[in-house]
Structure 1
């Protein structure tokens, strides 16, 4: 069986074709700068056209969909109702869900007979209890406007759970781990008995750890102060928090490989703040889990930066806990979830 995975970002498209069983990768392609000035690719339809994919040879297509809200607690076979629901969730993920939908619609146009499966970033975190996902705001804001913590990177955290359980020789449902997806976007997840019980990202992927250009946790009153003091609007604040903060805001660049080599005070401060934030989340999650089998490092930084891993684990308490470095494979996780849906 051949299963294709399509991951449509706001301006990119990742494509992988797997042969199952065996998870042999038959093709892997990346199209970037979609719709940007001077780009030869105007939209995701053209991006898929540029891949020269023969859909008649493909048995199913799995799509990464960023936001499933509270509607989708797992991966689902795509039909008209699913498409409509994903569209209704666009306000919760205005940059990503439209791109995800475009990928789905393109395949529907080109090969309407092929089953398509939506795999949601948020689904893994639907096991969070109310005390973990409800903000201490007016409860009506959750009931009427869906304002709650959703969590993201769920496909990656799910992949890390299964790989870690195998390495630890434990059943998934008996595994207690803290997974760290550390890249330009970063999140932590507390997994108790094989289920997400807390995660650092919240209503949006802005909450939580210090990231490449995102600030992570801040006092929300800062936003109000900035609006009044700098006379900036909501769009400018959004740009500031998401694209001009984090490591980039602290030291002028967001590539940890370069920051590690620097000896200036700004670079040192940026790394200190990032590491301390990671340790704070680990400490909180240790309390929630009570018994931690391992701390798992993954993502571009987690997998490749021994400096960051050593800094994070350089603590009397953490030195007594097993740490694992595991390469995440979100595309393979999507394929496996497609297979589960197709079995039903």
Structure 2
């Protein structure tokens, strides 16, 4: 049987990432991004092999962008597209794994839109567009939250009146599940450990950040909660703050819920602390130049990350290693070094040369002799979505 091809689609509110994943090829035959959709500046970027191209598509929505992408995917797959895998952010308690999309699944994704109002509706737009254009092709929904459905109740319940959980779904869900799942399995491969007998702390660090405790291939706890705002300091998100901050800002500044929500989600994090940027590369340069705000943002980011990892360790019966991944986790040697300095009780020791070497897609172990394992593992959420799609086709 020839190698199968899965088209992976990840729709945001005004953007769409896509990748064609061949089960036997390490690189993607086709990948790209449509951005600023719905505006006069809408544009489609793609890479076919080594060839990079762009096309202006003024006013195009997701459906129009997909009308360009799907024929490319068909050509790049030699006319053998096996399925389309969709990233869906919030599956609530409906989904403990990926599933083939049908009317029941679509309704459940709609029902969970209240838990992810910026993401689930956009994910549905992509699904509906591909269903229109390829009605006979198997389509798979892969949920960010599904991997964390193995958390025990004492890890996912908030200490609030029970009716809020029973009637309004107020609980911790966690996100970045495809990334945490993928890198923990890759780490087991890299170290020769069986997935079903390995325990990891993972740190997915990008514009959004989260930690996870993974036992024998299952999530036992994670830092994000009911929404992606809980937990670590992120690019523009505050992470954990005093829950009474909302009422304080309302009383003292007269801010509405919408203003508070915007401040905590879009104007906070390392952007808010530094007063400069939500990009760790920019902050690193400014920090080296002596910018106090950039230095503060860096220090808060690393300290809060270390605190979260230490807390996640409560869920592990043993520690086989700590994994850094995501844009910051894979590329910022200073973040990794400073974070480990805060975790003295774990006896982590860094091999500085190995730490400096592991950037730009280079995977490896970066601990010194006598230290617990510390790994840099590039994430590949598109491949994880494709793998889960293939598992469903095989089933």
Shorter-chain TM-score: what band? over 0.9
Unaligned runs of 5+ in 2: 43-57, 349-370
Is the contact made by 2:39 and 2:60 (CA closer than 8 Å) also made in structure 1? yes
Is the contact made by 2:246 and 2:257 (CA closer than 8 Å) also made in structure 1? no
- Structure 1 runs (4+) greater than 3 angstroms displaced: 21-24, 36-39, 52-57
Is the contact made by 1:77 and 1:115 (CA closer than 8 Å) also made in structure 2? yes
Counterpart in the other structure of 1:328: 379
Q: Per-residue deviation at 1:285?
A: 1.8
Counterpart in the other structure of 2:211: 188
Counterpart in the other structure of 1:176: 199
| Higher RCO (CA-CA < 8 Å; seq separation 6+) | 1
Query: Normalized against structure 1, the TM-score is what?
Result: 0.97
Unaligned runs of 5+ in 1: none
1:316 to 344, 348, 351: 344
Count of residues paired in the alignment: 344
1:11 to 14, 21, 30: 14
Is the contact made by 1:23 and 1:332 (CA closer than 8 Å) also made in structure 2? no
Distance in structure 2 (CA, Å) of the matches to 1:285 and 1:50: 44
Distance in structure 1 (CA, Å) of the matches to 2:221 and 2:295: 29
SS of residue matched to 1:202: coil
* Correspondence list, 1:156-175, <5 A: 156-175=179-198
Distance in structure 2 (CA, Å) of the matches to 1:172 and 1:201: 23
Query: Normalized against structure 2, the TM-score is what?
Result: 0.85
2:388 to 332, 337, 344: 337
Counterpart in the other structure of 2:311: 284
Distance in structure 2 (CA, Å) of the matches to 1:143 and 1:4: 37
Counterpart in the other structure of 2:297: 270
Deviations 1:162-197 (A, max 9, x none): 101111211111110000000110000011222101
Deviations 1:121-161 (A, max 9, x none): 00000001110000000011000000000000000001011
Q: Per-residue deviation at 1:29?
A: 1.1
SS of residue matched to 2:174: coil
SS of residue matched to 2:190: helix
Q: Per-residue deviation at 1:18?
A: 1.9
Distance 1:204 1:36, change over 3 A: farther
Counterpart in the other structure of 1:238: 261
Is the contact made by 1:302 and 1:325 (CA closer than 8 Å) also made in structure 2? yes
SS of residue matched to 2:37: coil
Counterpart in the other structure of 2:45: none
